[in-house]
Structure 1
């Protein structure tokens, strides 16, 4: 029903990329209901980490 990134890359360009990418990733995760979501262009590092963390959380929750 909801997805929130609790930690994201910080510093320099990462702040800008994170500000743009994380809301999109949260939205996609909720819509998809899985960690199988598209990466945000220009934020590959953030997207990859997000997807891995989301999959881990789903695994731990039994989802």
Structure 2
């Protein structure tokens, strides 16, 4: 089952997470939307998003650490991830 979380607006732009669940486990996570537009934001998110995805797969929840230097992206990612998890559970995952 693949579910997209809410589109969360941050100070630097929107974040949206999509997860795939199988047998109650998160098997895949990816960012459908991430803040972008200037070189610094793109640079920060090029390392922050993969770290957040790794943490998601390791934690199997939205209880993941903030990536240093990417506080707003991390918070938006967590919020979108939690909404995706909630939707997956409502759908029976």
| TM-score, normalised with respect to structure 1 | 0.95
CA RMSD of aligned residues (A): 0.9
Task: Give the alignment of 1:1-63 within 5 angstroms.
Answer: 1-12=27-38, 13-62=40-89
Comparing both chains, which one has the higher relative contact order based on Cα–Cα distances under 8 Å and sequence gaps of 6 or more? 2
Greater helix content: 1
Greater strand content: 2
Could you tell me how far apart the structure 2 residues matched to 1:47 and 1:28 are? 11
Consecutive unaligned residues of structure 1, counting only runs of 5 or more, are none
Aligned-residue offset at 1:2: 1.1
Alignment coverage as a number of residue pairs:
63
Instruction: Please identify runs of 4+ aligned residues in structure 1 that moved more than 2 A.
Output: none
Aligned-residue offset at 1:14: 1.0
